[in-house]
Chain A
Amino acid sequence: MKKTVDVSIPLGPVHPCWKEPVRLKCETAGERVLRVEVELGYMKKGIERIMRGRPWQEVMFLAERVCGICSVIHNMVFIEAMEKISDIAVPPRAAYLRVIVNELDRMASHILANFSYCYTIEHETLAMYLLNTRETVLDNLERITGSRINTAYMIPGGVRFDLLPEDAAAMLADLVKVEDEMKRHVRIFETGPLIALRSRGIGVMSREEAIEAHTVGPTARASGVPDSDLRLRHPTYRALGFEQITRTEGDNFARVMVRFQEVFQSIDLIRKCIETLPDGPIRGGGLCRAGEATYSGEAPRGELTYSIKTDEYGRVLDIAIRTPSIMNIEACAHSMIRDATSIADVTSTFISSDPCIACNER
């Protein structure tokens, strides 16, 4: 009998599948992966150190640049934390506009995550379809905020620009197009036999493991963790009747499908927002004051928490950011990839948990 030799295979930091530098060390016996170690630290920029001693108008932009993919939610959580500290009330129209921009960003992020999963399993056709659909979503984001990525839309006490009626009409028309295209893409993904071979039953994480590893976001929801979406606790989302999507399989397929379903949910939320958009001002004013607060919001990848302490002029004295990916990456390495039957599944499983290294290391 041939003896299998244990080999440690490094993946990264520059690797065709990784969009960002991260290193996975896989200990293997033959094709089977015994253990995976994640090596982080290639992207540490020290954003929290730069943020100290700066007023909101500078920290806002640094918070956005923690992660470029989900920049809107970083902006939103930071600004809402500052509002919580200073008791600033947000006008209802501004609150709805925030939800619209946030959901557009979530759609773009989810479609990008699914694009990179399809790209990793070498289904390039679907990947390119998804990337083209994402462009339509980004067009709408650009129409409201003026830029595709790093939008800088929210400020304490409101938002920067109003949604003009003709833009709202154009957005509704675009959403119909996006919904039609996405339905087709989801059908391709659900029924593709080759996709099923690479996705179903691979990288399974059970519900117990997901809860034990404190996974968050779509990764947790795909494993059936209940009440893991922080949008359930956000007042504006509650007013819109938001409900969480949960699947029970916990494999790669479920994680991608949860994101697809959330895209449809986001489309519905935006439509509901535009229908019930109240009239009124979009900025209430209000100054940032001294205080301390911890505030969480639901990023596309899961729970995002900012703990902020400010001085009497609204400058940030101390700040701590807890981003969603760090739990998901560790859970992915320890539960999903462990005992994978093939090295090829390591990359696809890792990408399916939607890791964001820039978020992670800041």
Chain B
Amino acid sequence: MRSIVYYVREFLRPEWLKKFFFAKTAPLVTPPYFKDYPSRTEKECTGCFSCMMICPAPEAIEVLRRKDRWEPAIYRGHCIRCGLCVEACPEDVLTSGRILDVTRHDGTALRSWYRLQVDDTLCMRCGNCCVSCPINKQVDPQLAGTGTSSSDEVIMRIEGGRVKILHEEKCTGCKTCEIHCPNRAIRVARMVEGVQGEEAEA
């Protein structure tokens, strides 16, 4: 009996009634350290594609040419908010949460480069890779449809009936050659290394 009276009194308190009928938790704020979708800073994008090449999700980020400048575009519904693009960007164009501050404080960076590998047993010497490569096109606009080139500065060319890789270090890892290869003979390896200290500065 006493407990019933207790409960009735408990439930008839004005604060309790107010809480019961009009309770709303305070609007919850997103903490500043949350890695949200990357957004632009004022820095100029140089179009190095580091962010695009390290992105683990398919079709999540693209660097687009808008009039006279490059601009990274993030696609919601594809982006998984991992923050690797923010860390990989050498120019600090993107920002997300506290990543930029913390990486600057730690002096960490991600170093990436690309390796090309041609499987001679699969290669048909069609020259698709040499023709499709955007860097090749920039270096030697006269690149022939068969993939031969007179320039020594191209990344790869058909030489003596096989693909010869001349300048691996120029590759930006876009994998256009891999897509255009009819039987997956050419493979681009994206190598990434996490570094800290003096190595990160270099």
Do B193 and A61 touch (CB < 8 A)?
no
A-chain residues with CB within 8 Å of residue B34 when the two chains form the complex: 142, 146-147
Bound Cα distance A62, B81 (Å) = 14
A314 within 8 A of partner (CB): yes
A58 within 8 A of partner (CB): yes
Among B64-72, B133-141, B157-165, B194-202, the stretch in contact with A: B194-202
Interface residues of A in 158-172 (CB under 8 A from B): 158, 160-162, 164
Please pick, from A57, A147, A157, the residue contacting B84 in the complex, using a CB distance under 8 A. A57
Bound Cα distance A160, B82 (Å) = 11
Do A281 and B103 touch (CB < 8 A)?
no
Do A162 and B105 touch (CB < 8 A)?
yes
Do A315 and B189 touch (CB < 8 A)?
yes
B-chain residues with CB within 8 Å of residue A62 when the two chains form the complex: 56
Q: B35 → chain A, closest Cβ, in Å?
A: 4
Given A147-B35, A313-B115, 4 other A-B contacts at CB below 8 A? A61-B82, A146-B99, A160-B194, A283-B196
Per-residue CB proximity of A52-63 to B under 8 Å, as 1/0? 000111101110
B-chain residues with CB within 8 Å of residue A143 when the two chains form the complex: 31, 33
Bound Cα distance A143, B102 (Å) = 11
A104 within 8 A of partner (CB): no
Bound Cα distance A142, B28 (Å) = 15
A332 within 8 A of partner (CB): no
A-chain residues with CB within 8 Å of residue B99 when the two chains form the complex: 146, 161
Q: B115 → chain A, closest Cβ, in Å?
A: 6
B-chain residues with CB within 8 Å of residue A284 when the two chains form the complex: 196
Do B102 and A164 touch (CB < 8 A)?
yes
Question: Which residues does B use to contact A, with CB under 8 Å?
Answer: 31, 33-35, 54, 56-57, 80-84, 87, 96-99, 102-103, 105-106, 108, 115, 117, 189-197, 199
Per-residue CB proximity of A24-59 to B under 8 Å, as 1/0? 000000000000000000000000000000011110
Contacts A/B (CB < 8 Å), 19 sampled: A55-B190, A55-B191, A55-B192, A62-B56, A142-B33, A146-B96, A146-B99, A147-B34, A152-B83, A152-B84, A156-B193, A158-B196, A161-B102, A164-B102, A283-B195, A284-B196, A287-B193, A313-B117, A314-B191
Please pick, from B108, B117, B191, the residue contacting A287 in the complex, using a CB distance under 8 A. B191
Given A142-B31, A146-B97, do A61 and B108 touch, yes or no (CB 8 Å)? no
Bound Cα distance A284, B111 (Å) = 12
A299 within 8 A of partner (CB): no
Do A281 and B193 touch (CB < 8 A)?
no
* Chain B interface helix/strand/loop/mixed: mixed
Bound Cα distance A142, B98 (Å) = 11
Do B106 and A282 touch (CB < 8 A)?
yes
Given A61-B57, A146-B34, do A157 and B102 touch, yes or no (CB 8 Å)? no
A349 within 8 A of partner (CB): no
State the 9 A-B residue pairs at the shortest beta-carbon distance, nearest first.
Answer: A313-B189, A146-B35, A283-B196, A61-B56, A155-B194, A162-B106, A58-B56, A283-B194, A285-B195
Per-residue CB proximity of A254-281 to B under 8 Å, as 1/0? 0000000000000000000000000001
Interface residues of A in 295-316 (CB under 8 A from B): 313-315
B-chain residues with CB within 8 Å of residue A139 when the two chains form the complex: 31
Looking at B56, B103, B105, B195, the one whose CB has the most chain A CB atoms below 10 A away is B56
Please pick, from B97, B108, B193, the residue contacting A282 in the complex, using a CB distance under 8 A. B108
Looking at B108, B117, B189, the one whose CB has the most chain A CB atoms below 10 A away is B108
Q: B109 → chain A, closest Cβ, in Å?
A: 9
A286 within 8 A of partner (CB): yes
A347 within 8 A of partner (CB): no
Bound Cα distance A45, B113 (Å) = 31
A228 within 8 A of partner (CB): no
Per-residue CB proximity of A130-155 to B under 8 Å, as 1/0? 00000000010011001100101001
Do A286 and B193 touch (CB < 8 A)?
yes
A-chain residues with CB within 8 Å of residue B108 when the two chains form the complex: 160, 162, 282-283
Bound Cα distance A287, B112 (Å) = 11
Bound Cα distance A336, B81 (Å) = 41
